[in-house]
Amino acid sequence: MDRRFLIQRVLMGTTALVLVPGILTSCEKSDYNPDDRVPLGPDIKNDIKIDITQSEYAVLANAGGSKVVSGIIVVNTGTNGYVALSASCTHAGAQINYSSGSNNLQCPSHGSVFSLTGSVIEGPAVLALKTYSVSKSGNILTIKE
């Protein structure tokens, strides 16, 4: 047996010992159930009040307008009123954006897509966005847990 042959066999064996267990365990069925986790998002101790006549929130006066306020994305859906959801993607925490053309919420980092109810339309995220209640009185929006 020559030296080169011995070194090749040792390297192949070492590689197999390192890679094979990882490959086999990655194919196992996981006990992870995304429904067991509670969606994360900002906790609101006091209601958030938004005056849509103020210039920084004026975009919310129009259907399709959206604005992130205190870690919550608020969307004017037009006919259905307003929705408020956590603005952080449940996959890796990037700030999501509202797409009025697709009428959904999209993560620019890894491509997750969420419905306006917060449910996952497309992964890699598996956990829904936390939702908040929104009410409107005159020009004031009130967001609460």
The model's confidence at residue 22, banded by pLDDT at 50, 70 and 90, is: low
pTM, two decimals, is 0.72
Structural domain including 4 reads 1-30
pLDDT tens string 86-128: 999 999 899 999 999 999 999 999 999 999 999 999 999 999 9
Q: List, in sequence order, every residue forming a beta bridge with 142; answer none if it has no partner.
A: 49, 135
Q: Are residues 94 and 130 in the same domain?
A: yes
Q: Based on the structure, what is the number of domains in the chain?
A: 2
pLDDT at 82: 96
CATH number of the domain at 120, please.
2.102.10.10
- Whether 60 and 19 map to the same domain: the answer is no
> Residue 60: which of 100, 95, 94, 107 has the closest Cα?
100
pLDDT for position 33: 46
Query: Residue range 24-40: average pLDDT?
Result: 50
Domain shared by 66 and 120, yes or no: yes
The span from the CA of 95 to the CA of 97, in Å, is 7
For 23, the 3-state DSSP assignment is helix
pLDDT, tens only, 39-89: 567 777 889 999 999 999 999 999 999 999 999 999 999 887 999 999 999
State residue 31's pLDDT score: 45
> How sure is the predictor about 6, in pLDDT bands with cuts at 50, 70 and 90?
confident
Dist CA 134 CA 144 (whole Å): 7
Verify that 17 and 83 share a domain, yes or no.
Answer: no
Are 76 and 98 in the same domain? yes
Whether residue 4 is found in the same domain as residue 65: no
